[in-house]
């Protein structure tokens, strides 16, 4: 049986980027396993005009190796779209274009689709990875299984009257009264889509409820954006875990808020509604928490609490769209490895700066995580812009040498105390 240097589980942008960077390192044999039959990326909110919130440079490889053959610019050249992209003069690709780029890269890499992993065990000198019809051996693992939709308990039990935002474009929401619960970019884009329908067809009635005190814009001002750089990652990781948790609670506007462009378009649509007649009503209500929910006859009834006044009220809808975010995907296949895994007092992985998790010394291989390190590496963890650096760090750790030079000068801001040095 061939022993792979790296087996990466899950084919999202991060593990795909790992395979891309590994593909030009001659002595690294890496393979990616994906349970689904094809690459799909946020298909439930793949609106025709939706764009990435990061530059095209945040592709699979460019922020470490811009001349790599699997860069976004190489994709454009291969598709003969370099000049249209150049003339467009926008750094942010559309989501559809980015997904097509990911598919293009995956077709050139050792990605095994329809390969769900059933079990991972330590076999004395290697990891044994098995699934239906296959078994592999790996010196090291990278977990990139991503996230799954999260529905809070207050919205549980609504059955087909509840649609998670991740499934929005795949479900029928042609109802008279649609309520979106939760903000963030996905929630805002869904409200935007509903408002366009309202303006064109007169319906549905749209309500938007969110716990945040305002419909807040993403804080993408330049010096704040430096918190997504390797410089801040190193600083954040050097702090005690209780301080990291305290800081992380303050950083929600960096990845759970709404782009300014989307907010402006929402306001523009609301303004245009002023000149129309006979449209179903639209309600935007921040500072509201959904306490409980139930289906009553043909209606959904939400019990809500207004945060400023403490007042409880009922809200009625035909269908609820839950833009309530995601949680780490479960990893039942790791059960055989669990006795060797070290966790913190909240049950989370203890993650080193190189993105490896703490294991019992009896395990000679290493397990790295991608986008499961928000608690240890901070606000940059889910950002596409850190993916190439994280993957280069992992490959350097796997090989024991600097196969990719990591960027040193990444921020003008000094995050550490004077005289403090971080390796």
**8-state DSSP, 180:** E
Domain ranges of the chain: 2-146+329-399, 151-218+257-322
Query: CATH code for 151-218+257-322?
Result: 3.50.50.60
Cα 261 to Cα 250: distance, rounded to the nearest angstrom: 23
Per-residue pLDDT of the chain (423 residues; tens, 9 = 90+): 779 999 999 999 999 999 999 999 999 999 999 999 999 888 888 888 888 889 999 999 999 999 999 999 999 999 999 999 999 999 999 999 999 999 999 999 999 999 999 999 999 999 999 999 999 999 999 999 989 999 999 999 899 999 999 999 999 999 999 999 998 899 999 999 999 999 999 999 999 999 999 998 888 888 988 999 999 999 999 999 999 999 998 887 777 789 999 999 999 999 999 999 999 999 999 999 999 999 999 899 999 999 999 999 999 999 999 999 999 999 999 999 999 999 999 999 999 999 999 999 999 999 999 989 999 999 999 999 999 999 999 999 999 999 999 999 999 999 988 876 655
Cα 169 to Cα 125: distance, rounded to the nearest angstrom: 46
Cα 391 to Cα 403: distance, rounded to the nearest angstrom: 11
Residue with tokens 């330590």: 122
Cα 7 to Cα 136: distance, rounded to the nearest angstrom: 8
User: For 144-162, b where at least 16 C-beta lie within 10 A, e where not — what string?
Assistant: bbbeeeebeebbeebeebb
Query: CATH code for 2-146+329-399?
Result: 3.50.50.60
Residues facing 321 on adjacent strands: 163, 180
8 A C-beta contact, residue 176 and residue 318: yes
**8-state DSSP, 358:** P
Cα 269 to Cα 195: distance, rounded to the nearest angstrom: 7
* Phi, psi of 98, deg, nearest 5: -65, -40
- This prediction has a pTM of 0.93
What pLDDT was estimated at residue 290? Answer: 97
**Helices (H), strands (E): how many in the chain?**
11, 17
Tallying the residues shown for the chain, one arrives at 423
What pLDDT was estimated at residue 420? Answer: 61
Reported as half-sphere exposure (CB side, CA atoms, 13 A), residue 32 has a value of 29
What pLDDT was estimated at residue 423? Answer: 53
8 A C-beta contact, residue 320 and residue 168: no
What's the CA angle centered on 34, arms 171 and 54, to 5 degrees?
70
Helix residue ranges per DSSP H, 115-258 = 184-201, 222-225, 230-237, 241-250
């Amino acid at each position: 049986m061939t022993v792979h240097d790296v087996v990466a589980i899950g084919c999202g942008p991060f593990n795909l980027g790992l395979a891309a960077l590994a593909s030009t390192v001659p002595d690294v044999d890496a393979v990616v396993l994906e349970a689904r039959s094809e690459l799909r990326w946020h298909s439930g909110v793949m609106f025709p005009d939706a764009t990435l919130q990061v530059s095209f440079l945040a592709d699979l490889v460019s922020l470490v190796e811009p001349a790599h053959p699997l860069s976004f610019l190489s994709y454009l050249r291969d598709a003969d779209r370099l000049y249209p992209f150049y003339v467009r003069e926008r750094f942010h690709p559309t989501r559809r274009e980015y997904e097509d780029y990911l598919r293009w890269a995956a077709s050139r890499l050792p990605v095994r689709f329809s390969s769900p992993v059933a079990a991972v065990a330590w076999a004395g000198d290697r990891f044994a990875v098995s699934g239906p019809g296959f078994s592999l051996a790996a010196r090291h693992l990278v977990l990139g299984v991503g996230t799954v939709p999260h529905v809070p308990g207050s919205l549980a039990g609504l059955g087909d009257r509840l649609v998670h935002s991740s499934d929005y474009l795949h479900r029928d929401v042609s109802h008279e009264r649609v309520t979106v619960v939760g903000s963030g970019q996905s929630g805002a884009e869904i409200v935007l889509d509903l408002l366009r329908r309202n303006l064109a067809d007169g319906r549905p009635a749209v309500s938007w409820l969110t716990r945040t005190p305002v419909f807040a814009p993403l804080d993408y001002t330049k010096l704040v954006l430096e918190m997504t750089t390797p410089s801040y990652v190193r600083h954040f990781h050097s702090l005690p875990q209780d301080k990291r948790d305290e800081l992380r609670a303050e950083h929600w506007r960096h990845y759970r808020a709404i782009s300014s462009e989307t907010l402006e378009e929402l306001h523009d649509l609301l303004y245009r509604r002023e000149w129309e007649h006979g449209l179903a009503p639209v309600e935007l209500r921040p500072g509201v928490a959904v306490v409980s929910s139930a289906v009553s006859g043909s209606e959904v009834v939400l019990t809500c609490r207004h945060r400023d006044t403490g007042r409880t009220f009922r809200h009625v809808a035909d269908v609820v769209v839950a833009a309530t975010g995601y949680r780490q995907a479960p990893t039942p296949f790791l059960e055989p490895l669990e006795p060797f895994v070290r966790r913190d007092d909240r049950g989370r992985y203890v993650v080193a700066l190189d993105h490896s998790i703490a294991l019992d010394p009896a395990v000679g291989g290493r397990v790295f995580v991608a986008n499961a390190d928000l608690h240890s590496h901070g606000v940059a963890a889910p950002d596409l812009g850190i993916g190439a650096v994280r993957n280069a760090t992992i490959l350097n750790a796997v090989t024991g040498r600097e196969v990719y030079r990591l960027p040193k000068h990444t921020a003008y801001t000094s995050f550490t105390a004077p005289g403090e040095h971080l390796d």
